[in-house]
Amino acid sequence: MLAVLQMSLLVAFLLATGALMTLAALNRLRVRPIRFSWYRGRSFIFWPGGFLFVVLILTVYAAFEQDYRLMGLGLGYTLGALCWCLAVRMSCAVMVTDFRLIRSLGDPRDVLDWQRVEDFFVTAGERSQQYVFFFRDDYGQRMRFELDVPRAHEERFRKLVSRLVENRDMHTIAQAFG
């Protein structure tokens, strides 16, 4: 009875994490064309990474004890934890396109269309530069969108912001003053 319960929980976990990874991959593939992207920090993988670490330790222990049933369960949970880690990794990527800026795939509040940007400023940090964009939501309320851009991507990002936001504003001012 216990073996059936353990196997049922493993199958449910594998189905859930496999579906999560598939959805994350499909969401990632929907975003086209991506000019460039990067991953935000390492702290986002704390829970799935911690789970993977514990499961690996228990699987190695089961291998030393030559408990093949427990080792099989451990390998199954390791596969599920890897799916979970990959799903979180794909979902937490910052993606920059010609049309929008995507801070995370999971939340619609983490998507900013370049056309909505009214103003922005940049502050320098140790390892990154923080861009703060101001825009209006669907209700006309002024909102902030903050994004840390790593030094490795800062030059390309600055050029893109200049092309998509600054030039647009300059063109509007030139039209206004004739």
Distance (Å, rounded) from C-alpha 79 to C-alpha 56? Answer: 10
Residue 41: predicted pLDDT: 65
H or E stretch including 112? strand 111-113
pLDDT value, residue 104: 85
Residue 32 CB neighbours (<10 A) = 8
Query: Helix or strand or coil: residue 98?
Result: coil
Which pLDDT belongs to residue 43?
Answer: 56
Backbone angles phi, psi at 37, to 5 degrees: -150, 165
What pLDDT does residue 8 have? Answer: 95
pLDDT, residue 95, reads 93
pLDDT mean by block of 10 residues, the chain; 178 residues: 92 97 92 87 77 95 93 96 92 90 86 92 89 91 93 92 74 42
pLDDT at residue 107, as a whole number: 81
